[in-house]
Copies of this chain bind each other. A is one copy, B any other.
Amino acid sequence: MNYEVSVNIMPHKGLLDPQGKAVHQGLNKIGLNQVHDVRIGKKIVLHVEAASADEARNIAEESCKKVLVNAVMETADISVAELA
């Protein structure tokens, strides 16, 4: 079966996010002062062939550990959906 796995990767809470800070300043500069904080991460969508949703999640977790995520600086959040 085919699964669509979404991996949301964000910088750790305590860590400085210079990209987000730059965007935050940019938004304030054009008058969007209601925005108080910006943090920027990645969203990676994998199409995975697996026997079950659990297996698809395991494959995604392995991908995260080996390639996608830098655990020192980022946290990943994985969600699995079955594809029609």
Contact = CB atoms under 8 A, between A and B. Distances in A.
Contacts of A48: 34-36
Count of chain copies: 2
Contacts of A38: 44-47
B59 A35 contact: yes
Contacts of A40: 42-45
A63 interface: yes
A39 B45 contact: yes
Interface in A13-50: 20, 23, 26-27, 30, 32, 34-50
Given A36-B47, A44-B38, A59-B35, A67 B30 contact: yes
Contacts of A35: 46-48, 59, 63
